[in-house]
Amino acid sequence: MAESEEKGGGGRRAEWVDGTNKTIAWVWWRRPEEWAGILADWIENTGQKNVVLTVYELVEGEATMSQEWHGMDVDVMMKSLNVLVKRGKAQVFGSEGQEGVKFF
């Protein structure tokens, strides 16, 4: 299943986590690019531009309790935030487990 999803048959809904071993895969309900768009919309709609938030606040915070990503795996959140970084809409900083994010 993961191989057919990885090749694009399902909209690239899978990604191998362990590279060439191909024994562990993420199977996406929403791809990181989709989550990035949802996060960007929330940032815009809630006036969070130029604000620094921690990854913990985004995943577990009170302000995100009604959001679909609340409780999301931190690795998935980081992949989604890295999409925003590549688009020039965010900057991630800090050490692992204590990351902060500034949105532009």
8 falls within a domain = no
> 3-class secondary structure for the chain?
CHHHHHCCCCCCCEEECCHHHCCCEEECCCCHHHHHHHHHHHHHHCCCCCCEEEHHHHHHCHHHCCCCCCCCCHHHHHHHHHHHHHCCCEEEECCCCCCEEEEC
Q: How many domains does the chain divide into? A: 1
24 falls within a domain = no
Task: Find the domain containing 41 and state its range.
Answer: 31-103
Q: Is the pTM of this model over 0.95?
A: no
5 falls within a domain = no
Confidence at residue 96, expressed as pLDDT on a 0 to 100 scale: 87
83 falls within a domain = yes
CATH number of the CATH domain containing 50: 1.10.10.10
Mean pLDDT score of the chain: 88
Confidence at residue 26, expressed as pLDDT on a 0 to 100 scale: 77
11 falls within a domain = no
Confidence at residue 62, expressed as pLDDT on a 0 to 100 scale: 96
**Positions in the chain whose pLDDT score sits under 70:** 1-11
17 falls within a domain = no
10 falls within a domain = no
Q: Of 78, 98, 76, which is closest to residue 90 (Cα–Cα)?
A: 78
Confidence at residue 11, expressed as pLDDT on a 0 to 100 scale: 64
19 falls within a domain = no
